[in-house]
Structure 1
Amino acid sequence: MADQAALFHQIFLVTGPVFGLVLLGVFLKRIRLIDEAFVMTASNLTFRATMPTLLFLSILQSDLKTAFQPKLVFFFVAATFLHFGFVWLWSLRSVPKEDRGVYIQGAFRGNCGIMSLALAANQYGDYGLSVGGVLSGIIVIVFNILSAFILSIYSPTFDANFKSIMREIVRNPLIISVVAALVGSSIGLTLPEWVVRSGNYFAAMSLPTALICIGGTLSLAAFKSSGRVTLSSSLFKVFWMPLFFVPLAWLLGFEGRELGILFLFLATPTAAASYVMVRAAGSSASLAANIIALTTVISVVSFMAGLYLLNYLQLI
């Protein structure tokens, strides 16, 4: 009993600070200490400046062979494509046509760059930050391509073409920072100590600010109005996806820290960026907001349950 209590305490130390900051964002928004203008500005600062700095420094200061793990990247990308395909097939028989694009995106597009990265850093320190940073930078490309593709099929107004998708990918600050860090690490780039320290101070703002912004964007009204389509998409994202692919990863030989990071990235709730893309596509923004809210709430339990089970079975 004491061992189980210690294990639960260890898991709470990983998940508690992350979801605590999300709840803080909800509270600060409710008492009007932060507003939508703050969330937009802070989110923009995080996406374009502090998060790229965090990823760049964490990867640059780590061993390149450790940060970039081709097998881990390939499995996660392959799992995303397989999950995307299955959810699409499922939606053909169970989801109204006008909602399919939003439903599918919500079921596969995870909040890897913030939620998963924060949990990986809490669980595995610099190792989790560097490996997770590379994984986040690569999967963002996959997410953007698949999201634009599926929304263009089911949206009456959204027309995404290859050129526009590639333009957005090339301009993405997170992708630029990961590529720059990988190149810098491969050529042995070193920065002055004062630059590294200043960068670390600046980068330290990233995860707390981003998590508070997630809380500030959550809609309790949207959560209360969740329906069958919302619940189905949410369960695909935070329950069925990790439940299928984590055991598969273990059967294929992943274990320890690699298996733990895969779980944290597979089980992450739907990314807030999906809402922005849905609005741009002219599809159901309310459904997108419902999925984001519901997956975030469910993930509080699913993350802790998954980490507890994997630790109890001594797989991570």
Structure 2
Amino acid sequence: MNLTSLFLHTLETTLPVFAMVFIGLGLRRAGWIDTAFINTASALVFKATLPTLVFLSIVQADLESAFNPALLGYYLVATLGSFLLAWQWARWRVAREDRGVYVQGAFRGNCGIVGLALAANLYGDYGLSAGGILLGAVIISYNALSVVVLTTYQPGKQANWRSILHDILRNPLILAVLAAIPVAWSGVTLPNWIETSGQYFASLTMPLALLCIGGTLSLHAIRSDSRVAFSASVMKMAVLPALATTGAWLAGFEGQELGLMFLFFASPTAAASFVMVKALGGNDRLAANIVALTTLLASITVTAGIFILRVTVGA
């Protein structure tokens, strides 16, 4: 396969995901979807359809290949390294009151939607099952580290670790992973009608979630953005994914494992980061700008990253 064919094949993988995001943006501007629809659909995805998708993908997977302790361990270490690097950079370059928002925006990716959608497009069942297991580690590490850095720079705010742990343990995605692994190990086969109905329900996840991401983008906010949001976006979409993926390659990861980690590292900033900043009284406009900018940049940086991986290491 020559470079042109390889690049076109890469576009076929990434464009469907980002096309749905921009369709969501267009539908919102046309008035065909509104805030009420986005809130309802987002809740349905988070509480029901995405957990169903993760559960079924793990139950149907070959856990010998999908469950990889080395991959989970490296991802956690690289996430912590990315977090500390972004924090150190923020201490040099960002005003104190915005450092927490900057750091969270620079390391916390939207792995549950964008990362998983890209993994499914690129690697099929392996991407869904291995990505679903990886999501458990992602949710715990992202939430804990985000609270640490945000409360550090918000006067009068303290981390309520009991509440955080409670929320993590009740997270539908965590529960789906915990429920699916023993079922998969036991070899129990779900009745055909349950499996088929579940697949119908789970298939709502990606279209709805991606439309909602597009519907929440604000081009007006981006036009009034500051250099801090752009700096965090470059850190999130270029610097940290390049360093973490290179580290994974040097550590011996290759093929689908390397590609999966790149997709999770290179996912745009999670919308949940805006919610957490707003709850803690931080600069929510900066948080929203980072989410919007990284989502728009992702269509370029993720496509370029996948193409480079395929050309250089065949991932």
| Shorter-chain TM-score tier | over 0.9
Supply the distance in 2 between the matched residues of 1:303 and 1:124 (Cα, whole angstroms): 15
Supply the distance in 1 between the matched residues of 2:206 and 2:135 (Cα, whole angstroms): 14
Q: Any conservation in 2 of the 1:259–1:315 contact (CA below 8 Å)?
A: no
Supply the distance in 2 between the matched residues of 1:277 and 1:271 (Cα, whole angstroms): 11
What are the residue-to-residue correspondences of 1:285-300 with 2, within 5 Å?
Answer: 285-300=284-299
Aligned length: 315
What are the residue-to-residue correspondences of 1:50-89 with 2, within 5 Å?
Answer: 50-89=49-88
Instruction: Between 179-188 and 260-269, report the one with greater CA deviation.
Output: 179-188
Instruction: Between 86-95 and 156-165, report the one with greater CA deviation.
Output: 156-165
Give, in angstroms, the shift of residue 221 of structure 1: 1.0
Give, in angstroms, the shift of residue 157 of structure 1: 4.9
- Please name the residue that 1:92 is paired with: 91
- Please name the residue that 1:209 is paired with: 208
What are the residue-to-residue correspondences of 1:12-27 with 2, within 5 Å?
Answer: 12-27=11-26
Identity of aligned residues (%): 51
276 and 157 in structure 1: CA distance in 2 versus 1, 3 angstrom threshold = farther
Supply the distance in 1 between the matched residues of 2:188 and 2:150 (Cα, whole angstroms): 40
Supply the distance in 1 between the matched residues of 2:103 and 2:313 (Cα, whole angstroms): 33
Where structure 1 has 5 or more consecutive residues not aligned to the other structure, the ranges are none
- Please name the residue that 1:258 is paired with: 257
What are the residue-to-residue correspondences of 1:278-289 with 2, within 5 Å?
Answer: 278-289=277-288
Supply the distance in 1 between the matched residues of 2:185 and 2:161 (Cα, whole angstroms): 30
Give, in angstroms, the shift of residue 222 of structure 1: 1.4
Supply the distance in 1 between the matched residues of 2:242 and 2:212 (Cα, whole angstroms): 28
3 and 315 in structure 1: CA distance in 2 versus 1, 3 angstrom threshold = closer
- Please name the residue that 1:273 is paired with: 272
Q: Which amino acid aligns with 2:195?
A: V
- Runs of 4+ in structure 1 off by over 3 angstroms are none
- Please name the residue that 1:310 is paired with: 309
- Please name the residue that 1:241 is paired with: 240
- Please name the residue that 2:170 is paired with: 171
- Please name the residue that 1:133 is paired with: 132
Q: Any conservation in 1 of the 2:254–2:313 contact (CA below 8 Å)?
A: no
Instruction: Between 150-159 and 255-264, report the one with greater CA deviation.
Output: 150-159
Supply the distance in 2 between the matched residues of 1:49 and 1:217 (Cα, whole angstroms): 20
Q: Which amino acid aligns with 1:7?
A: L
Q: Any conservation in 2 of the 1:157–1:281 contact (CA below 8 Å)?
A: no
- Please name the residue that 1:39 is paired with: 38
User: Which TM-score applies when normalising by structure 1?
Assistant: 0.97
Secondary structure (helix, strand or coil) at the match of 2:2 reads helix
Supply the distance in 1 between the matched residues of 2:51 and 2:173 (Cα, whole angstroms): 5
Q: Which amino acid aligns with 2:186?
A: I
Q: Any conservation in 1 of the 2:148–2:159 contact (CA below 8 Å)?
A: yes
Q: Deviations over 1:68-89 (max 9, x none)?
A: 1111111111101011111111
Q: Deviations over 1:113-148 (max 9, x none)?
A: 000100000001011110111111221111111111
Q: Which amino acid aligns with 1:125?
A: G
Give, in angstroms, the shift of residue 57 of structure 1: 0.4
Q: Which amino acid aligns with 1:224?
A: R
Where structure 2 has 5 or more consecutive residues not aligned to the other structure, the ranges are none
Supply the distance in 1 between the matched residues of 2:256 and 2:292 (Cα, whole angstroms): 29
Instruction: Between 260-269 and 48-57, report the one with greater CA deviation.
Output: 260-269
Matched, 1:153 2:152: yes
Secondary structure (helix, strand or coil) at the match of 2:88 reads helix
Secondary structure (helix, strand or coil) at the match of 1:101 reads helix
Give, in angstroms, the shift of residue 158 of structure 1: 3.5
